[in-house]
Copies of this chain bind each other. A is one copy, B any other.
Amino acid sequence: MTELTNHQLRLIARPTGAPSAEHFEATEEPARVPEDGELLLETVYASIDPAMRVWMNEDPGYVPPIPLGAVMRGGGIARVLQSRDEAFEVGDVVAARPGWQSHPTLPASEATKLDLGLGTIEDWAGPIGTTGLTAYFGIREVGAIQPGETVLVSGAAGAVGQMVGQIAKIEGCTVVGIAGGPEKCARLTEDLGFDAAIDYKAVDHLEAAIAGACPNGVDVFFDNVGGETLDAALANLRLKGRAVICGRISQTAAEELYGVKNLGVLIGKRARVEGFIVSDYADEFPEARRWISQRLREGELKQALHVVDGLERAPEALAMLFEGKNTGKLVVRVTDA
Contact = CB atoms under 8 A, between A and B. Distances in A.
Interface of A: 61-62, 226, 230, 245-248, 251, 257-261, 263-277, 280
A277 B260 CA distance: 21
A221 to B, nearest CB: 13
Given A226-B263, A226-B264, A259-B258, A275 B271 contact: yes
Contact of A277 (B230, B257, B264, B267): B267
18 contacts: A226-B264, A230-B263, A245-B264, A245-B266, A248-B263, A248-B267, A257-B261, A258-B259, A258-B261, A263-B273, A266-B274, A267-B275, A268-B275, A270-B274, A270-B276, A270-B277, A271-B274, A272-B272
Contacts of A259: 258-261
Contact of A272 (B62, B264, B269, B275): B275
B268 A61 contact: yes
Nearest to A268: B62
Most chain B CB within a 10 A radius of its CB, from A61, A258, A263, A265: A263
Contacts of A257: 261, 264
A282 to B, nearest CB: 13
Given A258-B259, A260-B260, A267 B245 contact: yes
Nearest to A275: B266
A17 B336 CA distance: 64
A118 to B, nearest CB: 27
Contact of A264 (B248, B271, B276): B248
A280 B273 contact: no
Contacts of A268: 61-62, 275, 277
Q: Which 10 A-B pairs have the closest CB atoms?
A: A259-B259, A266-B275, A272-B274, A267-B275, A257-B261, A273-B273, A260-B260, A62-B268, A245-B266, A259-B261
Given A266-B273, A270-B276, A272-B275, 14 more contacts: A248-B263, A248-B264, A259-B260, A259-B261, A260-B260, A260-B261, A266-B275, A267-B275, A269-B275, A270-B275, A271-B274, A271-B275, A272-B273, A272-B274
